[in-house]
Amino acid sequence: MSQFEFKLPSGNVVAFREPKNADRQKVIDMIKPNEKQSVDEMLAAFCVLSVNGEPPREPDPKYMMRAWSIKDSQTYVSLFLEMFTIGEDELKDIKEAAKKLLRPESEAI
């Protein structure tokens, strides 16, 4: 399991791990239909291992970052998404690959 540490704007150091698809599914299952929760933000919180070497005070990812400053939470979530989601360049390559795969065989050659 890959583990990373990052110093937030406040000076706090957050340790976190790479998410797995099973983590994303667990987070989706935690969100009730009437709740307005971001899957990406909750997944980022779900993967926090420690802050300043201490386990999170609030283990529930819905509430884990509520005491953090907005700047810290936005910085962490943005970093997390940049590291573990598909970026613009990768998406461009995927779209090109899909176009090639969908082309009729006579045109693909």
Could you read off the pLDDT of 50-98 as tens digits, one per residue? Answer: 999 999 998 899 999 999 999 999 999 999 999 999 988 899 999 999 9
Q: Is there a contact between 9 and 78 (Cβ–Cβ < 8 Å)?
A: no
The CATH number linked to 36 is 3.30.2220
In terms of Cβ atoms closer than 10 Å to its own Cβ (0-12, 13-18, 19+), residue 95 is exposed
The domain containing residue 7 runs over which residues?
3-108
pTM for the model: 0.84
List, as one string, the DSSP characters of 29-79: HHS-TT----HHHHHHHHTEEEETTB--S--STTTTTTTS-HHHHHHHHHH
Could you read off the pLDDT of 8-55 as tens digits, one per residue? Answer: 999 999 999 999 999 999 999 998 888 888 999 999 999 999 999 999
